[in-house]
Amino acid sequence: MFLRRDKEQPTEARVLALHARQSRPARSTIPSHPLHGSATLDMATKALKSEVTALIDATMVRDKTRGELAHMIDDLAKSRLAENQLSLNTHLQRDLVTVLLNDVLEAARRSGAAPRPSQVNVAVASRASIDEAIPRIYPTVMERIDPEIASRLTREELARQLTGVVAEVLTEHKIQLNQLEQRDLVTVLLNDMLGLGPLEPFLADETVNDIMVNGAKQIYVERKGKLELTDAKFRDNQHVMSVATRIVTQVGRRIDETTPLVDARLADGSRVNIIAPPLAIDGPSISIRKFSKKGITLDVMAQQMNISPEMATVLKVASRARLNILISGGTGSGKTTLLNAMSQMIDPGERIVTIEDAAELQLQQPHVVRLETRVSNLEGKGEISMRDLVKNALRMRPDRIILGEIRSAEALDMLQAMNTGHDGSLSTIHANRPREALTRLENMVGMAGVNLPSKAVRQQIAAAVNLIVQISRMRDGIRRVTAITEVVGMEGEIITTQDLFLYKYEGETPDGKLRGNFQTSGLRPHFMPRAEYFGLDRALLEAVA
């Protein structure tokens, strides 16, 4: 077993083993068919998940034992793999059944169709046994693993070799776990070694939007706009810190007592914020805003009733007509999602420069330059701020500048960019109402240290910003665009605006959903001449009529 840290093992054997692995042909790209070619556990799980969900309904979950459900899934998996002339080894086949079965039981629990008590009791007992075993065997398992070799193995190869090590260590510590529990234990160890430990299941769960870690013993997730406490836990605060360190090192940052605040991102683009002791009193806190794997467009948002079809048309026209648009909303309201949806209206031939603290925008255009801020080093030097990047972006011949979020003095540079030919720029800002967004923008210009009269600042804002889109996460968990407000100009020292659309709350349905309507004001948009220049005036008139 070449994974082991075994000093007596001949060096030649280790070298040959590594050479054999390195000389294997590279894996080919997975074809479009979900099960075709060389199968892996992840491929098989994704391909079979929908079929298993269709096969096993809530009634079956209530009426059948865990073993009977596992047998049904096993038969389906073998049949589908055989149809596609594929095979999984015994360990992976069992893991596939376990993963799919756990998904079915979890889905049944969330839908209110609770599994049989025996299934719940078995799952709880298994989880308790694994949680008890991990701290006892973890140090011994790590002592017997050569990290250098382990880092070169695929997840499947590492799982196969780790299974043998775990079985031996359990025997030595006189810990009795059944085969299912041993496989789950190996999965937990793999997640610790290769992934983000107890957070891995939530990262794979497409119904989870946010993951919030409050110290070692409390992990919350958000599903459908509602927060819920999970059963998952870290071993201790050091375990949380090791996961946090793994996240930030992947993007060239650090987390420690000297730098206890970090913004980072995961490999899939999910946004991460980490705050560590001494600032976080009860242990490290990790907040993950997951990257959406589904491409959200304005049409999809209209179908989901986040906006009305007429509002979608107006936002499409505004993006096509190169209006400077400010998306305003609270934390978690969907500002970045809306920005991504609106950015899809940008012409593919335009050069776009994006500026963010942690890159998370998902632009589909071919000509995109992504810029990201940098924190200072241990000596307090080398910081590159948002303002530095905005200034640099102006020298890069951009057609559009997209600022992930206006937070501070970069507001002045962004306004100047909007006023000097870089129309069609997009940005987000934290505010509860469109008028508040303008006030915050004015306050942030003041942070730049430039002594300008209030009227001059407001004139710059009125000339630069064309449209404010207000989005909110409401108490039923649904995000809705509550206002589309146009900046018209100045009257004296006051910025004048007009609402094109508003969301009017009317009540609540029996199932807890809010009831309301997206209403048009019927006003003629001030940017109608601009829409006419781009040949979009008729569509705009029909939408606001």
CB < 8 Å & 24+ apart, contacts of 110-114: 110/207, 110/223, 111/58, 113/58, 113/59, 113/61, 113/62, 114/62
- For residue 33, pLDDT beyond 70: no
Q: Phi and psi for 34 in degrees, rounded to 5?
A: -65, -25
Mean confidence (pLDDT) of the chain: 81
Residue 115 has pLDDT above 70, yes or no: no
At 23, is the pLDDT very low, low, confident or very high (cuts 50, 70, 90)? Answer: very low
CA distance 28 to 503: 50
pLDDT of 19: 36
Q: Which amino acid is at 263?
A: D
Alpha-carbon distance values, 240 to 4, 217, 244, 282 (Å): 26, 10, 6, 12
* Ranges assigned E (strand) in 224-267: 226-229, 261-265
Give the least confident one: 34-48, 249-263, 462-476: 34-48
Give 197's DSSP letter.
G
Over the stretch 445-499, which tens digit does the pLDDT of each residue have?
A: 988 888 888 999 999 999 999 999 999 998 888 899 999 999 999 998 999 999 9
- Strands 226-229 and 261-265 come out as unpaired
3 state SS of 176: coil
State the DSSP code for 374: B
Q: What angle do CA 234, 101, 83 make, to 5 degrees?
A: 130
List all residues 6 or more positions away from 323 whose beta carbon is below 8 Å from its beta carbon.
423, 424, 466, 467, 527, 530
- The answer regarding whether domain 300-544 maps to CATH 1.10.645.10 reads no
Task: Answer yes or no: is pLDDT of 24 > 70.
Answer: no
Evaluate if residue 183 carries a pLDDT over 70.
Answer: yes
Tokens of 519: 């209403």
Inter-residue contact 284 to 274 (CB < 8 Å): yes
Q: pLDDT at position 110, please?
A: 67
Residue 404 DSSP label: S
The Cα–Cα gap between 108 and 56 comes to: 10
- From the number of C-beta atoms within 10 Å of its C-beta (0-12, 13-18, 19+), residue 437 rates as buried
Write the CA distances from 466 to 281, 307, 440, integer angstroms.
Answer: 44, 19, 16
Domain boundaries, given as residue ranges, for the chain: 11-194, 197-289, 300-544
pLDDT above 80 (res 296): yes
* Separation CA 503–CA 469 (nearest Å): 12
- 31-40, 330-339, 394-403: which has the minimum mean pLDDT? 31-40
Provide the CATH number for the domain formed by 197-289 in this structure. Answer: 3.30.450.370
Which DSSP state fits 198?
A: G
Report, as an integer, the average pLDDT of 222-246: 87
Where helices occur in 375-503 by DSSP H, the ranges are 386-393, 410-418, 434-446, 454-464
Q: How far apart are CA 266 and CA 114, in angstroms?
A: 34
Give the pLDDT mean for 125-132: 62
| Residue 211 pLDDT | 94
Report pLDDT for 527.
94
* Other beta carbons less than 10 A from residue 320's beta carbon: 17
* CA 532/CA 540 separation, integer angstroms: 9
Residue pair 473/479 in contact by the 8 Å Cβ criterion: yes
Q: Is the pLDDT of residue 363 over 90?
A: no
Q: Please tell me if the domain spanning 197-289 has the same topology as the one spanning 300-544.
A: no
Whole-model pTM over 0.85: no
Q: Give residues with Cβ within 8 angstroms of 300, minimum separation 6.
A: 294, 341
